[in-house]
Chains A and B, each alone.
Chain A
Amino acid sequence: MLELRLVQGSLLKKVIEAIKDLVTDANFDCSATGLSLQAMDSSHVALVALLLRSEGFEHYRCDRNISMGMNLNNMSKMLKCAGNDDIITIKGDDGGDTITFMFESPNQDKISDFEMKLMDIDSEHLGIPEAEYHAIVKMPSSEFSRICKDLSSIGDTVVISVTKEGVKFTTRGDIGTANIVCRQNKTIDKPDEATIIEMNEPVSLTFALRYLNSFTKATSLSESVTISLSSDLPVVIEYKIADMGYIRFYLAPKIED
């Protein structure tokens, strides 16, 4: 028996919209800890890891660990039928082949339920160890989104370099080149608008802008984004989900062949 009641249902709507173009089908793993997901894109270049902790739900019942395979496009179709202010409850039975989404309007005058077919997904789970990163950049998520969008009109790849000067985003294309440098900026009253650079050593890595632009679909989930870089690891782009958990995107770099 599974029953998860999420008062801020819009969070689930946003999460699915953020990952559905990257991942087609995924297993949602439900345990006492919370609802989690790990999936790679079809070309195995990017990986998404989601955690919604049980404490973030108003009611959380998960009698035993369960993995539910869902088509994210179908899930998106169903969740789009929920209002932004609706409370969403996810219900499932052990061993069942469907899941039910119940939507309640804030004043309880409209209650809908949508039953979705589950699917068997043979997905591989990768172990992601804790790592020390050469540099961690925290910046406004809207700024990061703007940079990725702007640069993708000029080039296909971006070099992200962190030095003591700041974080530099560089691209090159047929029409020319572009460099955007963001310096550390802690002086603002609002911490969400700050750019904070923690650097242990300088790092410079190249990534496909197509993927970074896809990750920025999570921008509405969090005011700030954290970019963790190491020369020998995929970049981690993390959006915190208020009081509940996170959505992390891992992207393998491009290297000189």
Chain B
Amino acid sequence: IIAQISIRQFYKKI
């Protein structure tokens, strides 16, 4: 299964 990951997993909130 190929899952879509979120952009939030890479960049932190500032």
Check A253 for interface membership: any CB of B closer than 8 A. yes
Does the CB pair A257–B13 fall under 8 Å?
Answer: no
Does the CB pair A250–B7 fall under 8 Å?
Answer: yes
Q: How many residues on A have C-beta within 8 angstroms of the other chain's C-beta atoms?
A: 24
Does the CB pair B2–A125 fall under 8 Å?
Answer: no
Which residues of B from 1 to 14 have beta carbons under 8 Å from A?
1-14
Nearest Cβ distance between residue B3 and chain A, in whole angstroms? 4
Tell me the nearest residue of chain B to A128, going by C-beta: B11
Q: How far, in whole Å, are A126 and B6 apart by their CA atoms in the complex?
A: 12
Check A2 for interface membership: any CB of B closer than 8 A. no
Chain A residues whose CB sits within 8 angstroms of the CB of B5 once the complex forms: 45, 252-255
Which residues of A from 234 to 257 have beta carbons under 8 Å from B?
234, 250-257
The 8 closest A-B pairs by CB, nearest first: A126-B11, A257-B3, A127-B14, A257-B1, A254-B2, A44-B6, A252-B7, A252-B5
Other A-B pairs, 14, CB within 8 Å; known A127-B13, A233-B10, A250-B11:
A40-B7, A45-B5, A45-B6, A45-B7, A46-B7, A124-B13, A125-B13, A126-B13, A127-B11, A208-B4, A234-B10, A256-B2, A257-B2, A257-B3
